[in-house]
């Protein structure tokens, strides 16, 4: 299971998303992408992400399970969509 978190410096709700990612690091591989960088923007474009914070959940074969765009899901929402 992989979790990709998309954030940017001046985003008021991004710290909440990054904190949630820290909580999930013991249960899944968590990657963080700053959309103000070239690599972060490229990754965001791949998932059609145009707002932050956003979160992508992938299975072990990189198949998309769920995307939240422009919001931070609650931990319970993530657990409902995954088996972690």
What CATH number did the domain enclosing 58 receive?
3.40.30.10
In a domain, 66, yes or no: yes
Mean pLDDT for the stretch of residues 17-30: 95
pLDDT digits over 24-67, tens only? 999 899 999 999 999 999 999 999 999 999 999 999 999 999 99
Q: How many domains does the chain have?
A: 1
Determine the structural domain holding residue 15 and report its residue range: 2-76
* Domain assignment present for 82: no
How confident is the model at residue 84, as a pLDDT? 53
Answer yes or no: is 14 within a domain. yes
Compute the average pLDDT of residues 14-33: 96
Q: pLDDT for 66-76, tens place per residue? A: 999 999 999 99
pLDDT given at position 82: 78
| DSSP string computed for 29-67 | EEEEEETTSHHHHHHHHHTT--SSSEEEEE-TT--EEEE
Task: Tell whether the model's pLDDT for residue 83 goes beyond 90.
Answer: no
Block residue for tokens 């931990």: 75
């Amino acid at each position: 299971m992989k979790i990709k978190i998309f954030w940017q410096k001046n985003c008021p709700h991004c710290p909440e998303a990054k904190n949630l990612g820290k909580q999930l690091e013991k249960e899944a591989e968590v990657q963080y992408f700053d959309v103000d960088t070239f690599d972060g923007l490229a990754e965001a474009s791949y998932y059609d992400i145009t707002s932050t914070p956003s979160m992508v959940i992938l299975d072990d074969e990189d198949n998309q399970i769920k995307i939240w765009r422009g919001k931070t899901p609650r931990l319970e929402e993530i657990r409902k969509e995954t088996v972690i």
